[in-house]
Amino acid sequence: MDHHDTDVCVVGAGFAGLAAARMLAGEGREVIVVEARDRVGGRVWNRAAEGGTVLSVGGSWLGVGQDRMFALCREHDVEVYEQYFDGDTVLRLGDTNHRYRGMIPRINPAALASLGVALKRLDRMAAQLPLDAPWEARHAARLDRQTLGGWLSDPTHVPTATARSMLDVTMKLLFCVDPAEVSLLSALVLARGGDGFEYYTDTAKTETHLVVGGVPALADRMAAALGERVLLEQPVRRIRHDTDGVEVTTPAAIIRARHVVVTAPAPLVTQIEFDPMLPAGHSHLLRRMVPGSMIRVQAVYERPFWRDDGLVGEAIAPDLPVAVTIDQSDPTGAPGVISGYVFGPAAVEHAALPAADRRRRCLDALVACFGPRAAEPVDYVETDWAAERWSLGAMIAHFPPGTLTSYGPALRAPVGRIHWAGSERATAMHGLMEGAVRSGERAAAEVLAAG
């Protein structure tokens, strides 16, 4: 066993952990980051597809207001480029492809209106929540005993079936589970962190830029700046803690520190042995913060052929296995990459199929949206985030009903010398890479303030 003594131990080398460690090191604190994987980045990952093309297969896009992420890219000489936007989106309903440009699909005006009214109504409810403590909102208990799925399925909220179907697929994509699993309050908390659901549903807001070399390049450079302070392949088994300090144990190392910042996703934190055990409020919260299933499907073509047809590479196809796509092509235009998403209960079913069947289903879906040229990619990869040992799901954890009102105050409260970060613990930009960075910096500030 290696023994380390340090000021702060950071558990997890995703953006939350890297941002926390960077800030602490910048303030002269000794830091050690322990990461379970053999790479940094967590839910961002540059992975080689079957044929060798390296693709960003996790978090990839930056958007409006994500100031910390853009600033970190600038500081680390990581270049960004604008998302391709010159073309029509495909909306496939039943067997028909509808095309539209911008945010407003060409669907039946009643459906369109009811979609807009429902989103506005949700946003109005979200705007009333206190950002830091939504469980203290006046109607918190009432909102938290409803599910997002229950709200959406109520015809008085969403009067047309088309609008319901579009909202359902949007919310399934955001939470990667059936909206029946998600507390209405917690869905509004997500919206509140981006000043409205529109922020999360409008690619012109959340997907304005891609990163040259993939956003994992930024994680790599942040880790490189930390140098030997980052220990890979060190899954944390136990955290002992008392009023004097903490002791973090991995299979190969024991790190003694004055504070620990835990940034790992909740289902991984519940696999760590805390000694003494965490207070019930905190461990109940952790056990309830569960992610869903998301399979990212990337098909690589010599060129982004869909642009020839005036298409932007985005598709919304609630009835297909790959229900959403977006253009993730190289800034040079070659290769062309379609990034598709299989999510929620559909991803659980998809994951159980043989690989050849999965590939056929996915390519058939792309053909339905973009035509026959989609059938023969030059490279292809599926990334099943629920099968990743050190993620156990994607994209983020949601809060089931009753969780925030019963256990919400534990979300960001330190437990003695244990501090908490991670995108799900962010207030603004909750669930995004930007939220992860901000949560890490907030936890680092807590440690600095503690002296």
Distance CA 329, CA 84 (A): 8
Question: Do 204 and 89 contact (CB within 8 A), yes or no?
Answer: no
- Minimum distance of a copy of itself from residue 398's CB (angstroms): 10
Q: Which stretch binds a copy of itself (CB under 8 A): 95-103, 226-234, 400-408, 417-425?
A: 400-408
Are the CB atoms for 314 and 306 separated by under 8 Å? Answer: no
Site map 153..172 versus a copy of itself, x via CB under 8 A: x-------------------
**Binding residues for a copy of itself restricted to 291-350, rule: CB under 8 A:** 292-293, 345, 347-348
Do the bridges between strand 238-241 and strand 88-93 make them parallel or antiparallel, or are there none, so unpaired?
A: unpaired
Angle between helices 433-450 and 15-26 (to 10 degrees): 40
Q: Closest CB to a copy of itself among 108 and 153?
A: 153
Stretch that binds a copy of itself, among 61-69, 197-205, 309-317, 387-395 (CB under 8 A): 387-395
Q: Burial letters for 421-437: b for 16+ Cβ neighbours within 10 Å, e otherwise?
A: bbbbbbbbbbbbbbbbb
Interface with a copy of itself includes 270 (CB under 8 A)? Answer: yes
# binding residues, a copy of itself (CB under 8 A): 47
Interface pick for a copy of itself out of 116, 213, 279, 416 (rule CB under 8 A): 279
> Of the listed pieces 116-124, 321-329, 361-369, 396-404, which binds a copy of itself according to CB under 8 A?
396-404
For a copy of itself, the closer of residues 66 and 405 by Cβ is 405
Spatial contact of 399 and 411, defined as CB atoms under 8 Å apart: no
How, if at all, do strands 230-231 and 31-34 pair? Answer: parallel
**Both structure tokens of 169:** 């697929």
CB atoms within 10 A of CB 120: 13
**Smallest distance, Å, CB 186 to a copy of itself?**
12
| Residue appearing with tokens 């359902």 | 168
For residues 152 and 164, the answer to whether their CB atoms sit within 8 Å is yes
Footprint on residues 115-154 left by a copy of itself (CB under 8 A): 141-142, 144-147, 149-150, 153
Contact call for residue 400 and a copy of itself (CB under 8 A) = yes
Concatenated DSSP letters of 225-240: HHGGGEE-S----EEE
- Alpha carbon 257 to its chain centroid, in Å, reads 30
- For position 179 contacting a copy of itself by CB under 8 A, the verdict is yes
DSSP-assigned letters across all residues of 342-357: EETHHHHHHHTS-HHH
Q: Binding segment for a copy of itself among 23-31, 129-137, 265-273, 420-428 (CB under 8 A)?
A: 265-273
Smallest separation, CB 168 to a copy of itself (Å): 11
Answer positive or negative: Cα dihedral of 348, 350, 353, 359.
negative
Q: Report the residue from 35, 88, 168, 181 that binds a copy of itself according to the rule CB under 8 A.
A: 181
DSSP 277-319: PPPHHHHHHHHH-EEE-EEEEEEEESS-GGGGGTEEEEEE-TT
When binding is defined by CB under 8 A, the residue of 193, 313, 335, 401 that contacts a copy of itself is 401
Q: Is residue 290 close enough to count as binding a copy of itself by CB under 8 A? A: yes
Which CB sits closer to a copy of itself, 42 or 291?
Answer: 291
Q: How far apart are CA 174 and CA 267, in angstroms?
A: 19
Q: Which of 405, 423, 427, 439 binds a copy of itself (CB under 8 A)?
A: 405
Residue closer to a copy of itself (CB basis): 400 or 440: 400
Among 406, 413, 414, 445, binds a copy of itself (CB under 8 A): 406
Query: Nearer Cβ to a copy of itself, position 413 or 428?
Result: 413
- We find the least distance from the C-beta atom of residue 52 to a copy of itself, in angstroms, to be 26
CB 387, min distance to a copy of itself, A: 6
Q: Which of 15, 341, 407, 420 binds a copy of itself (CB under 8 A)?
A: 407
- Choose between 97 and 283: whose C-beta lies nearer to a copy of itself: 283
- Asked if 416 interacts with a copy of itself (CB under 8 A), we say no
For 107-145, the DSSP string reads S-HHHHHHHHHHHHHHHHHHHTS-SS-GGGSTTHHHHHT
Q: Which is nearer to a copy of itself, 87 or 393 (CB)?
A: 393
Residue 33 φ/ψ, nearest 5 degrees: -105, 125
The only residue of 98, 284, 307, 361 in contact with a copy of itself, by rule CB under 8 A: 284
How many alpha carbons fall within 13 Å on the CB side of residue 107? 26
The reply to whether omega before 276 is within 30° of 0 (cis) is yes
Please report how close the Cβ of residue 292 comes to a copy of itself at its closest, in angstroms: 7
Site residues, a copy of itself (CB under 8 A): 141-142, 144-147, 149-150, 153, 177-182, 267, 270-271, 277, 279-281, 283-284, 287-288, 290, 292-293, 345, 347-348, 351-352, 384, 386-387, 389, 392-393, 400-403, 405-407
